[in-house]
């Protein structure tokens, strides 16, 4: 038994054929225990029920290691849309923002709701060519939520650099299964409750050192101070050095879970998870071809089949968790998925 099998057998107790991580990951036993411990302490009125900032900072550091940046570049928060809104608020009136057509709304709408910005859209496959001299920012997902298409991030980065534009990457559907380096980008965002196996309420923002002066910490509370416990009353005398100045007050239950989940992912390693997840996706793609179905092309751990969205309720009734997105049936494979799960999904699809 290899390490991935050993760890997943010990850490996961779900009873369904769970192929829906692109919607929400399965919480490992160690994360469940961390949440229960904090909740019970809070219920007992114990001092430890307040929540532990050290766990938050260990989560920050673990995420930083996963995406290849220093922890000083990482801010913690609660949602991608909040992080993206911070970037949107930094743009001057009239700035042009370029986004892929059909990208996830949280990567787009914080710019759209600003009536004084020019938001332009282009196909994902030709996004790099669409960057122009008037483009101030390109905002896109590393992996498309709807269908698993993987963006050519190096090409877009080269185009933004050539035109002096900044770049924001949503890695929510990438970090945790796909090797991802945040260091080339001005801003990256990622939620914790999908491939990172935490719960809603934990999210991460990375900001390059060069881009940090472009953002105003609009929601700066006492946790954004260099010395938090000296900033609980009155104006903050000194904001934190680095990206911690953009922190939101943490949802401790989410970050206690995230610490355990991120430790699990680090223990197994992204390369091993990537190999496992993509092998299962390839098995599923081959099975779909035998059934006469054509999924969206690609090699991601997310596999989307146009025209099969109506099968999702029957699959759910059979104990197989998938999702229906943009008219397609979406299955997503992660470290707790098995070949037997893939084969069961194919069997049900072939008989319905």
CATH 3.40.640.10 in the chain, residue ranges? 42-267
Residue 216's pLDDT is what? 96
Residue 65's pLDDT is what? 98
Give percent above pLDDT 90 in the chain: 97
Q: Please say if the pLDDT value at position 113 is more than 80.
A: yes
Q: Please say if the pLDDT value at position 277 is more than 80.
A: yes
For residue 20, the SS3 value is strand
Q: How confident is the model at residue 352 (pLDDT cuts 50, 70, 90)?
A: low
What value, to the nearest 5°, has the Cα angle with vertex 59 and ends 105 and 188?
A: 35
What percent of the chain is helix, strand and coil (3-state, nearest 5)? 45, 15, 40
Find the mean pLDDT for residues 271-291: 98
- In sign, the C-alpha dihedral spanning 110, 113, 117, 123 is positive
CATH 3.90.1150.10 in the chain, residue ranges? 3-27+269-351
Find the mean pLDDT for residues 123-151: 98
Second CATH level (architecture) for the domain 42-267: 3-Layer(aba) Sandwich (3.40)
> Using one digit for the tens of pLDDT, what is the confidence trace for 5-35?
998 999 998 999 999 999 999 999 999 999 9
Q: Which CATH class is domain 3-27+269-351?
A: alpha beta
Strand stretches in the chain, DSSP E: 17-18, 74-77, 96-100, 118-122, 135-141, 166-170, 187-191, 203-207, 302-306, 320-321, 323-325, 328-332
> Using one digit for the tens of pLDDT, what is the confidence trace for 207-243?
999 999 999 999 999 999 999 999 999 999 999 999 9
Residue 1's pLDDT is what? 64
């Amino acid at each position: 038994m290899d390490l991935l099998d050993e760890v997943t057998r010990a850490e996961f107790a779900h009873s369904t054929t769970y192929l829906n991580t692109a919607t929400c990951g399965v919480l490992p036993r160690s994360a469940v225990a961390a949440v229960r411990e904090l909740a019970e302490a809070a219920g007992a009125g114990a001092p430890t029920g307040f929540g532990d900032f050290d766990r938050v900072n260990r989560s920050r550091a673990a995420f930083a290691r996963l995406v290849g940046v220093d922890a000083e570049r990482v801010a913690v928060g609660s949602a991608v849309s909040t992080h993206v809104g911070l970037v949107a608020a930094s743009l001057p009136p009239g700035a042009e923002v370029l986004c892929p057509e059909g990208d996830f709304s949280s990567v787009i709408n914080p710019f759209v709701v600003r009536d004084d910005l020019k938001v332009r859209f282009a196909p994902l496959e030709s996004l790099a060519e669409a960057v122009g001299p008037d483009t101030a920012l390109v905002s896109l997902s590393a992996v498309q939520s709807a269908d698993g298409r993987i963006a050519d991030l190096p090409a877009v980065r080269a185009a933004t650099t050539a035109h002096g534009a900044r770049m924001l990457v949503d890695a929510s559907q990438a970090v945790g299964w796909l090797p991802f380096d945040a260091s080339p980008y001005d801003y990256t965002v990622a939620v914790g409750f999908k491939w990172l196996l935490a719960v809603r309420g934990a999210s991460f923002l990375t900001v390059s050192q060069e881009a940090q002066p472009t953002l105003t910490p609009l929601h700066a509370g006492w946790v954004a101070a260099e010395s938090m416990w000296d900033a609980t009353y009155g104006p903050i005398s000194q904001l934190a050095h680095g990206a911690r100045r953009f922190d939101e007050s943490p949802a401790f239950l989410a970050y206690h879970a995230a610490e355990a989940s991120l430790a699990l992912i680090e223990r197994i390693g992204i390369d091993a998870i990537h190999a496992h997840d993509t092998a299962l996706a390839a098995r599923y793609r081959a099975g779909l071809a035998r059934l006469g179905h054509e999924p969206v092309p690609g090699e991601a751990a997310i596999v989307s089949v146009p025209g099969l969205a109506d099968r999702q309720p029957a699959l759910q009734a059979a104990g197989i968790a998938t999702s229906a997105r943009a008219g397609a049936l979406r299955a997503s494979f992660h470290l707790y998925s098995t070949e037997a799960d893939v084969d069961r999904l194919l069997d049900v699809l072939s008989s319905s």
